[in-house]
Amino acid sequence: MKIVDAEVLVCRPGRNFVTLRLTTDDGLTGLGDATLNGRELAVVSYLRDHVAPLLTGRDPHRIEDTWQYLYRGAYWRRGPVTMAAVAAVDVALWDIKAKVAGLPLYQLLGGASRDRLLAYGHANGRDIPELFDSVRARLAEGYRAIRVQTGIPGLNAVYGVHPPGDAAARDPHQRARPLVEDWDTAAYLRHTPTVFEAVRNEFGAELPLLHDVHHRLTPIQAARLGRDLEPYRLFWLEDCTPAENQEALRLVRSATTTPLAVGEVFNSVHDYQGLITEQLIDYVRSAVTHFGGVTPLRKLLDLAALHQIKSAVHGPEDISPVGMAAALHLDLAVHNFGIQEFSGYSAATHDVFRHAFTFTDGYLHPGEEAGIGVELDDALAAGHPYERAYLPVNRLHDGTVHDW
């Protein structure tokens, strides 16, 4: 069997997605997600100009060899553009292999370790009443674990807080020029524990609550926040410091028992090494899409399992249904599954990416179709052409650019 075609498809059913489709001489196809939010076309070029010419003629069954060939063979290793491109190839090859076997991908990864996958959704509000409404809406949708983000008095726009209304229109990730959010660490540190106190009082002690700091604190500030949140028993505190400085997590870890989740911007096991072997974190957040695919993420999760660290695969709206499906197959198979982020998709995205995975009563399942269980409808995708869109940027009150 040989790969005869490698197409890179870009569409925008509400937001931009990049998809790789590999076709074999037997007429089988495999899909991989290569979406890198705000920098999509860099990955398109990497795939079209540099990777696709290497794929035609290769045996699609040689997944590990193809991964090593693209990773080591490029000489220039790691980085989100490279690893998103390699991930798309890897997932498309797994999709093909599982279709040849006539099995859902999770069966090739060892079979199901559980029946269903706990998901968490996003609740947000500019103030506490609006946040409570949002939590109630997620509970009504079936979610059993919820990420909580709120506005901060005195700040206009902060991470994760969207005004109510149509999902595509309100999404701050989808602006033709970057939205400028503002930030005040002291105000955030004062306000956030009061938010969690209010949420616990309203929704009780048992609901798993998560919170994303989005890399905004210094180690000592993160240590303070972790301690102040201990009474509210968070499921986790995510990305409390800029993730590339592993030393920071050592200080935070020694100061608080609030569980820590890290890694959505990581793209290689080398970014994690000390964090895992020294057990400085509790959850790894890497996406299949940005970590080089199922092949390396499986290895990372096996290393994490040795240190009682669990999976929490990144799954915001900018991971396409193809990347989500790949994550769900891996989640179902690994023993150390923790939780899966899932914030849903626009109706147009569901139409363009017909998928077998399901969300029922707060749990996800990848479905039983052979492969990863996603097909892209080219005709519908053509009706949603690419438009440039940026993530926000973040500034302090004096105008200084801050971590986003």
Residues at the contact surface with Mg ion, assessed by CB under 5 A: 212, 264
In the annotation, is 159 catalytic? Answer: yes
Tally DSSP H helices, then E strands, for the chain: 15, 18
Coil, strand or helix: which one is 247? Answer: helix
Q: Which does 271 bind (CB under 5 to 8 A by kind): Mg ion, ligand KDG, none?
A: none
Which residue, 16 or 23, is less far from ligand KDG as judged by CB?
16
Q: Is 316 in the site for ligand KDG (CB under 6 A)?
A: yes
Instruction: Please report, as residue ranges, which positions from 189 to 218 form the binding site for ligand KDG (by CB under 6 A).
Output: 212, 214
Q: Is 90 in the site for ligand KDG (CB under 6 A)?
A: no
In the annotation, is 384 catalytic? Answer: no
φ/ψ of residue 182, rounded to 5? -125, 160
Q: Which does 318 bind (CB under 5 to 8 A by kind): ligand KDG, Mg ion, none?
A: ligand KDG
Closest approach, Cβ 224 to Mg ion, in A, equals 20
What string of H, E and C letters represents the secondary structure of 99-133? HHHCCEHHHHCCCCCCCCEEEEEEEEECCHHHHHH
Which residue, 264 or 369, is less far from ligand KDG as judged by CB?
264
Q: Is 95 in the site for ligand KDG (CB under 6 A)?
A: no
Do the beta carbons of residue 77 and residue 71 sit within 8 Å? yes
Q: Is 341 in the site for ligand KDG (CB under 6 A)?
A: yes
Q: C-alpha distances in angstroms, 4 versus 20, 26, 71, 313?
A: 13, 9, 21, 32
Contacts of 307 (CB under 8 A, 6+ apart): 276, 277, 279
Alpha-carbon torsion 144, 167, 88, 68, what sign?
negative
Q: Is 33 in the site for ligand KDG (CB under 6 A)?
A: no
| Residues that contact ligand KDG, how many (by CB under 6 A) | 9
DSSP state letters, 201-218: HHH-S-S-EEEE-TT---
Q: Which does 126 bind (CB under 5 to 8 A by kind): ligand KDG, Mg ion, none?
A: none
Q: Is 268 in the site for ligand KDG (CB under 6 A)?
A: no
Q: Is 318 in the site for ligand KDG (CB under 6 A)?
A: yes
> Which sequence positions are flagged as catalytic?
159, 214
In the complex, the residues that contact ligand KDG under the rule CB under 6 A are 37, 212, 214, 264, 314, 316, 318, 341, 391
